[in-house]
């Protein structure tokens, strides 16, 4: 047990020392304004490099991705229909579609589907 604890302490000590040494050595001593500015073919940039990002567009893209993956999960249900009993197939299909509709209702209720400016 003593060997295990001392080995763990040795590993933690060595890794901590390596992290401290690497952070000390990696610090830049001279910050150049030209090097930290954005580069656009040798000219000063015409507009701000930090353009505002539309959060509404991002939410719509994430919702599309989620429902697109769920539709891709619905495709194998067609081939499962021939291999399983019709009662189990309809139960699984109904349950999956109910989950999809509940998610859609939740997004609609939260207002994520409204495209406002």
Would you give the DSSP letter of residue 117? -
* Percent of the chain with pLDDT strictly greater than 70: 76
Could you give the CA distance from residue 96 to residue 100 in angstroms, rounded to a whole number?
Answer: 6
Q: C-alpha distances in angstroms, 43 versus 1, 46, 74, 81? A: 65, 8, 52, 63
pLDDT value of residue 62: 82
Question: Does the residue 73 lie in any domain?
Answer: yes
Question: Does the residue 78 lie in any domain?
Answer: yes
Averaged pLDDT of the chain: 79
24-81 tens-digit pLDDT: 887 665 666 666 666 656 666 666 666 677 777 777 788 888 878 878 887 887 777 7
Question: Does the residue 34 lie in any domain?
Answer: no
Residue of 3 and 73 predicted with greater confidence? 3
Question: Does the residue 24 lie in any domain?
Answer: no
Q: Tokens for 70, please give them.
A: 């769920």
- The parent domain of residue 59 ranges over 55-110
Could you give the CA distance from residue 28 to residue 34 in angstroms, rounded to a whole number?
Answer: 15
For the chain, the domain total comes to 1
Question: Does the residue 115 lie in any domain?
Answer: no
- Is residue 14 over pLDDT 90? yes
Phi, psi of 40, rounded to the nearest 5 degrees: -130, 80
């Amino acid at each position: 047990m003593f060997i295990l604890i001392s080995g763990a302490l040795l590993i933690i000590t060595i890794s901590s020392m390596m992290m401290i040494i690497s952070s000390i050595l990696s610090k830049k001593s001279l910050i150049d304004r030209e090097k930290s500015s954005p580069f656009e073919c040798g000219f000063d940039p015409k507009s701000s490099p930090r353009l505002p990002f539309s959060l509404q567009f991002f939410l719509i893209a994430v919702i599309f991705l989620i429902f697109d993956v769920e539709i891709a999960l619905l495709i194998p249900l067609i081939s499962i229909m021939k291999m399983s009993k019709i009662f189990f197939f309809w139960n699984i299909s109904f349950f999956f579609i109910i989950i999809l509709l509940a998610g859609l209702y939740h997004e609609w209720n939260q207002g994520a589907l409204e495209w406002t400016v």
